[in-house]
Amino acid sequence: MTESSKPRHAHVRQSKTLASTVWIIPLIAAIAGIWLLVDYSRQQGPEITLLMDNAEGIEVNTTTIRLLNVEIGRVSSIRLRPDHKGVEVVAKLQPSAREMMREDTQFWVVKPRIDQNGVTGLNTLLSGSYISFAPGSSQEEASTFTVSELPPISAMGQHGLRLKLVGHNSKMLGAGSPVMFENLTVGSVETAKFNPKTQNVEYSIFIQSPNDVLVKSNSQFWLDSGVSVRLDGGGVKIDSAPLPAILSGAIAFNTPTAAVGQKVQAAANNQEFTVFNDRAELENKPNERTLYYVVFFKNSVRGLEAGAPVEYRGMRIGTVAQVPYFQDGDSAKLFENGWVPVRLRLDPDSMERGDEPQTREYWQNAMQAAFGKGLVATLSSNNLVLGSKMVELVDSSSGDALLKPHAQYNGHTVIASKGSGGLDELQDKVGRLLDKFNALPLDKTLGELNGSLNQLKQTLASANRLLGQNSTQKMPAELNATLQELRKTLQGVSPESPMYQDIQQTLAALNRTLQDVQPLVRTLNEKPNALIFNQNGKDPIPRGK
């Protein structure tokens, strides 16, 4: 077989175009499948996990997830947590809810509830409980949330001011309690809890805008709840809170007026304040302008307690801070010294009474000038029934015995004191009067009085014997007869009697006679010699021999 007659092998060339075309079809199918899967997933909406303490009232495919009472999704499954300390509720939401699932989104269970805000959730008696939520404003997305049993007091995106209050309070208010400013509700308590480590009650409150401008860095907070009845030296004081505070308790606050030249900044978000048990505790709290003084008393301080008023002319200007107030070593010299130191606190806020606040230095100088002019302290009775006392600042006179053993005591200026006034002074005067009465010679006086009484008894016995005689007893009858005769005699000179007529005629004749002799009497008064010489002739002229 010749070389040319040998069969030739055909060279097969693979087509690259055909291979590319074959692989494009499954690639397109895969891309289409992925796109359909993503589109399906987006149409299905997000799936979230809700952490709850228990699944009470929650049912699969029945319990709904709602926003503004509009259904957004449903519960798809319920399972226990891995640690068995709660449940995980899985819910499928609509696609439109995806953008609302943020880190600060809040979920809570809506069911029938009665609290201080009223009755809520009655519509769930027939439809069953559901889960509601408030969309958050965070930039971070989330798929796991903790469900609260109570609805949030304020939405996370609501404008306002959040504050933290801490206090060693004897009672704790619940979430939802109002926050009040001058009896007006301006906010609410979001959370309240007791810290066992510090033994303080911690509150988180929210003040809605625009009321948040009322809170300053120097604002003061206290609990205002129910009706407070306080019995002290001023009598019975009843402080009734507004109706919302009576029903559930409330937190009240005010903002003191700043002193001259002092600027007060607005409160910062999440700033911490102290909350007091009541307004009385707040008013007794010292501030940066409070002035402290010490006064010494030799009188008994029984009935004088911390918190008792310090008054000037009936106006309360301070409070007794501490009774007694010994510095180191002085309590051992109690019997040697014979006095008891008392610490006083004077509050410029109580003295200004609405005027523009002055600085602490101003009031220091004003009080020092008053002490230099003779202002002293004295103990006075505050309540006669309770026996309580107070300290009163009065003006002293030149004759008063003042007590001021030190100029400074424990770093405080000492106020001179004088003897107690008021009821104590009255008691001293009564005591001195009784001492004088006891010093009187009562035995001698009583003996003389007994002798006088014996003489009086004898005189009365003699008078009794005289009145018992027959002649004395006849005297009234004889006196009666004499009076009858006198009455008859007087009847004889009555206007109708003849004697009375004769007397009248005689008096008339005598009157006429007197009228006739009046010219003669007048002439004799003018010329006494008229009876000797001729009245009309001239007086004779005497001649010489």
What local confidence, expressed as pLDDT, does residue 164 receive? 95
Strand pairing class (87-93; 130-134): unpaired
Report in angstroms the alpha-carbon separations of 517 from 397, 486, 513, 522: 83, 39, 6, 9
Q: What is the 3-state secondary structure (H, E, C) of 276-304?
A: ECCHHHHHCCCCCCCEEEEEEECCCCCCC
Same domain, 363 and 414: yes
Q: Is the peptide bond before 324 cis (omega within 30 degrees of 0)?
A: yes
3-state secondary structure of 158: coil
What size, in residues, is the chain? 545
Same domain, 327 and 230: no
The dihedral region occupied by 242, where left means phi > 0, alpha psi between -120 and 50, and beta the remainder, is beta
Residues contacting residue 163 through CB under 8 Å, at least 6 positions apart: 204, 205, 206, 207, 215, 267, 269, 270, 271, 272, 273
3-state helix, strand, coil in the chain (%, to 5): 30, 30, 35
Within 353-422, residue ranges assigned H as helices are 360-372
Domain-located, residue 318: yes
Q: Say if residue 237 is exposed, middle or buried (CB neighbours under 10 Å; 0-12, 13-18, 19+).
A: exposed
Q: Which of 406, 431, 456 is the last residue of a domain?
A: 431
Q: Is the peptide bond before 519 cis (omega within 30 degrees of 0)?
A: no
Cα-to-chain-centroid distance, residue 146: 43
What local confidence, expressed as pLDDT, does residue 232 receive? 55
Q: How many helices (H) and strands (E) does the chain have?
A: 11, 26
Whether residue 210 contacts residue 175, with contact meaning beta carbons closer than 8 Å, is answered with: no
What local confidence, expressed as pLDDT, does residue 349 receive? 79
Same domain, 344 and 238: no
Q: Consecutive sets of 10 residues in the chain, 545 residues long: mean pLDDT of each?
A: 54 55 77 80 82 92 92 94 92 90 91 70 81 88 90 72 89 85 87 90 92 90 72 57 65 78 82 88 76 88 85 87 84 82 87 77 90 88 76 83 86 85 65 79 81 86 79 78 79 69 81 80 72 59 58
Domain-located, residue 215: yes
Cα-to-chain-centroid distance, residue 211: 24
Q: Which of 283, 302, 325 is the last residue of a domain?
A: 283
What local confidence, expressed as pLDDT, does residue 157 receive? 60
What local confidence, expressed as pLDDT, does residue 241 receive? 57
Token digits for 123? 């519509």
Same domain, 168 and 200: yes
Token digits for 491? 């009847």
Token digits for 539? 């007086």
Domain-located, residue 239: yes
Rounded Cα distance, 34 and 441, in Å: 127
Within 373-441, residue ranges assigned H as helices are 423-439
Same domain, 143 and 176: no
Same domain, 188 and 120: no
Same domain, 192 and 227: yes
Same domain, 379 and 448: no
Give phi and psi for 157, each to the nearest 5: -90, 0
Same domain, 375 and 480: no
Q: What is the 3-state secondary structure (H, E, C) of 429-469?
A: HHHHHHHHHHHCCHHHHHHHHHHHHHHHHHHHHHHHHHHHC
Same domain, 418 and 452: no
Domain-located, residue 139: yes
Domain count, the chain: 4
Token digits for 270? 């999440």
Domain-located, residue 296: yes
Domain-located, residue 93: yes
Rounded Cα distance, 48 and 90, in Å: 6
Rounded Cα distance, 130 and 241, in Å: 37
206 DSSP 8-state letter:
E
Nearest to 259 by CA among 221, 220, 289: 289
What local confidence, expressed as pLDDT, does residue 77 receive? 94
Rounded Cα distance, 520 and 531, in Å: 10
Rounded Cα distance, 219 and 446, in Å: 74
- DSSP sequence for 505-542: HHHHHHHHHHHHHHHHHHHHHH-TTTTTS-SSSPPPPP
111 DSSP 8-state letter:
-
- The tens digit of pLDDT for each residue in 504-526 reads 888 888 888 888 778 777 777 77
Sign of CA dihedral 484, 488, 493, 495: positive
Same domain, 379 and 452: no
Domain-located, residue 117: yes
63 DSSP 8-state letter:
S
Whether residue 320 contacts residue 310, with contact meaning beta carbons closer than 8 Å, is answered with: yes
Domain-located, residue 14: no
Whether residue 285 contacts residue 277, with contact meaning beta carbons closer than 8 Å, is answered with: no
Same domain, 308 and 407: yes
Whether residue 294 contacts residue 413, with contact meaning beta carbons closer than 8 Å, is answered with: yes
Whether residue 162 contacts residue 271, with contact meaning beta carbons closer than 8 Å, is answered with: no
Whether residue 482 contacts residue 489, with contact meaning beta carbons closer than 8 Å, is answered with: no
What local confidence, expressed as pLDDT, does residue 290 receive? 86
Strand partners for 310: 318, 391
Domain extent, residue 452, equals 442-491
3-state secondary structure of 32: helix
| Strand boundaries in 12-58, DSSP class E | 47-52
